[in-house]
Structure 1
Amino acid sequence: MKKILLVEDNEMNRDMLSRRLERKGYDVVVAVDGQDGVDRAARELPDLVLMDMSLPVLDGWEATRRLKSTPATGHIPIIALTAHAMAGDREHAMGAGCDDYDTKPIDLARLLTKIENLLARHAGG
């Protein structure tokens, strides 16, 4: 079973998305802010991280940079999740080290396709 770390500060979003991912067969670990996400990623070593970018304590941009710059977690694919679908946001996320980008509200079918593609790509490398 693939493990996904969901870093999301909004309780309703966190609960809804984690339940939907668990129903699809994923083991979901949650973190409630960016620092918690960095700490849990180092402890849990998930197969993939879903990173909200607007987080307290440490925002998603900095949390992603820290994960990608650490040897133990640098290989873990990260999908940025943001409600701020502004011009340049995708490029900003990719520049921070994210492997993909998706917008809120979440379209589960689209997100699952991105998750499956990244997991398949990283399984081979």
Structure 2
Amino acid sequence: MIYFSAAVILFLIYHFYWKRRHLPPGPVPLPILGNLHTILAHEPGYDVFEMWRKKYGPVYTYWIGTMPLVVVADYETMKETFVRDGDAYFGKFTIEAVTTAYRGGRYGILDTVGDFWREHRRFALHVFKDLGLSTNVMEQR
């Protein structure tokens, strides 16, 4: 019984403190579920993410099961992170269940990689150019 209690205490310390120590702040996850219970308790959409952004700031961490997901919800931080250090984040995987639930699948420039991404990017840049929106104008907005 003592060994079991010690194992449970060590698991809880690992899960609630050690695993989260180098990540941005965010809601405390439950073991195994993460923050899924909170996400499912809200209407589909982004209201729970907006609530977390207001509470924890523009960069926060939430958990789907045992996997941490870091959210960048501020334009300047996004620009600094993904433009300056974009290669560090290129090709990062997504969770298919989350992508399907919130976007209906992996579509567009943000969720794709490789040739499919290049094709979408080329199309978007062509359309923006035809509309008179160059990349400099888009960055200024």
TM over 0.5: no
Q: Which has the higher contact order (CA 8 A, sep 6+)?
A: 1
More helix by share: 2
Choose 1 or 2 for highest CA Rg: 2
More strand by share: 1
Q: TM-score range by the shorter chain?
A: under 0.3
Normalised to the residue count of structure 2, the TM-score between the two structures is 0.25
Normalised to the residue count of structure 1, the TM-score between the two structures is 0.27
